[in-house]
Amino acid sequence: MTTTSTPPGLARFNVQEEHAALAALHEACASTEWARRLLAARPYAGTDDLYAASDAAMAELSTADLEEAMAGHAPIGRPKPGDPTSAREQAGMAGAAEELKAEMLELNLAYQDRFGHVFLICATGRTGEQMRDAVKERIGNSPEQEREIVRTELGKINRIRLARLVEEDA
C-alpha cells in the first residue's frame, strides 16, 4: 500500500544526487548491495514503497552482504563512541547494572565465537534484560537459523533508520 503524501525527507531523498543518497543509505545499513538496490528503485511514491524495497533487498542479500551489514553494528552494550544512532538504539543497556553489562559482554563474546559476528538484535525499545535473554536463547541456534534471524533483525533496524531518514524535515 502506498502512502498518499510524500514526507519531506523522502521527497528530498528521491532527488538527492546519487553519492549523497548512497551515503545516507549507508548510514542506515552497511551493506553496499542493499543500498544499491534501494537507490536503483528511486523515486519512491511513499514510505511504504521504500520499506517494501528495503525488505525485498534484505531478503535477497547473500551471506557476504549480510556479513558486511553486520560489520556496521557495534556489540550490544558497547555503542560506537560518538555515534548517536548506536547510543540511541542501545539505550536499554545504558542504565543497566554493571553485573548485567559484564554478563552481556561475556555473552557477546561467546556468541561471536560461535557465529563469527556480533550478536545482532533490533535493540530499540528493549531493556538490557530482554537483550540478554535473547542472546541466551539464540546462542543455541544453528548457523543457518541464526543467519535468518539476523536477516529479520537487520530488516527491523533498517526500517527504523529509514523512517528517521525520510521523516526528517531538513
pLDDT in tens, 65-76: 999 999 888 888
> Do 123 and 98 reside in the same domain of the chain?
yes
Domains contained in the chain, number: 2
User: Is 147 among the domain residues?
Assistant: no
- First and final C-alpha spacing in the chain: 26
> Do 29 and 56 reside in the same domain of the chain?
yes
Cα dihedral sign for 151, 62, 42, 17?
positive
* CA distance linking residue 65 with residue 139, whole number of Å: 22
Q: What would the pLDDT profile of 125-138 be if each residue is shown by its tens digit?
A: 899 999 999 999 99
> Do 41 and 98 reside in the same domain of the chain?
no
CATH (domain of 129): 1.10.3330.10
Domain of 7? Answer: 1-72+154-170
pLDDT at 169: 55
- Count H helices and E strands in the chain, helices first: 10, 0
Q: What would the pLDDT profile of 106-123 be if each residue is shown by its tens digit?
A: 999 999 999 999 999 998
pLDDT at 135: 96
Indicate if the pLDDT at residue 37 is higher than 90: yes
- φ, ψ (nearest 5 deg) of residue 110: -65, -40
User: Is 149 among the domain residues?
Assistant: no
Which amino acid is residue 74, in one-letter code? A
> Do 133 and 87 reside in the same domain of the chain?
yes
Q: Which long-range contacts (CB under 8 A, 24 or more apart) does 52-55 make?
A: 54/155, 54/158, 54/159, 54/162, 55/155, 55/159
pLDDT at 4: 53
User: Is 7 among the domain residues?
Assistant: yes
Q: C-alpha grid cell for residue 154?
A: 537487520
> Do 1 and 66 reside in the same domain of the chain?
yes
* pTM, rounded to two decimals: 0.89
User: Is 62 among the domain residues?
Assistant: yes
Q: What is the mean pLDDT of residues 34-41?
A: 97
Q: How many CB atoms lie within 10 A of CB 14?
A: 15
> Do 122 and 84 reside in the same domain of the chain?
yes
